[in-house]
C-alpha cells in the first residue's frame, strides 16, 4: 500500500470517529493543527520515555526496566501513533505528504555527503 492510500484510510477512520479534518475557516484549522501537534509531541514523548527506560535497563543491572526486544512492540506502536498524527497534519495542511517526503529526500541527497 502506498502512503496516499494509507492516508485515505486514516482520513476515513477519522471521519467515522468524528475527528475533525474539515474546517469552516483557517482559525478552526489552526486550532486543530495545534491540538494535533500537542498529540504528536505526546506520542513522541511516550516513545522517548520507553526508550529511556530500555537504555536505563541496558546500562544498569539494578534497574528493573524493559529489555530492548521486549519493548519493541510498544516502541512500534508509539511510532505508528506518531505516523498517524503526521498523516492527519498533512491532510490539514493540504499537502501531498508522499511527494513532500520524496522532494525532501532528494534535497537531502544533495546536502549530505557520505559521512566517514
Q: What is the DSSP letter of 18?
A: T
Read off the pLDDT band of 114 (50, 70, 90). Answer: confident
Instruction: Supply the pLDDT for residue 116.
Output: 63
Instruction: Supply the pLDDT for residue 113.
Output: 78
Topology (CATH level 3) of domain 3-111: Helix Hairpins (1.10.287)
Residues 34-90 have pLDDT tens digits of 999 999 999 999 999 999 999 999 999 999 999 999 999 999 999 999 999 999 999
Read off the pLDDT band of 110 (50, 70, 90). Answer: confident
Domain extents in the chain = 3-111
Query: In the predicted model, what is the mean pLDDT of residues 95-108?
Result: 94
Instruction: Supply the pLDDT for residue 33.
Output: 98
CA 59 from centre of chain:
28
All three cell numbers of 7 = 492516508
Closest CA to 78 of 102, 33, 45, 32: 45
Residues 9-33 have pLDDT tens digits of 999 999 999 999 999 999 999 999 9
Q: Does an H or E element contain 73, and which?
A: helix 68-92
- How buried is residue 16: exposed, middle or buried, by Cβ count under 10 Å (0-12/13-18/19+)? exposed
Amino acid at each position: 500500500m502506498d502512503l496516499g492510500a494509507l492516508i485515505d484510510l486514516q482520513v476515513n477512520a477519522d471521519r467515522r470517529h468524528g475527528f475533525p479534518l474539515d474546517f469552516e475557516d483557517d482559525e478552526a484549522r489552526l486550532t486543530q493543527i495545534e491540538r494535533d501537534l500537542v498529540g504528536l509531541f505526546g506520542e513522541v514523548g511516550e516513545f522517548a520515555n520507553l526508550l529511556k527506560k530500555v537504555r536505563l535497563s541496558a546500562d544498569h543491572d539494578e534497574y528493573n526496566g524493559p529489555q530492548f526486544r521486549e519493548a519493541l512492540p510498544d516502541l512500534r506502536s508509539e511510532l505508528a501513533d506518531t505516523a498517524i498524527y503526521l498523516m492527519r497534519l498533512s491532510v490539514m495542511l493540504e499537502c501531498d505528504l508522499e511527494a513532500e517526503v520524496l522532494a525532501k529526500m532528494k534535497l537531502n541527497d544533495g546536502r549530505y555527503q557520505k559521512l566517514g
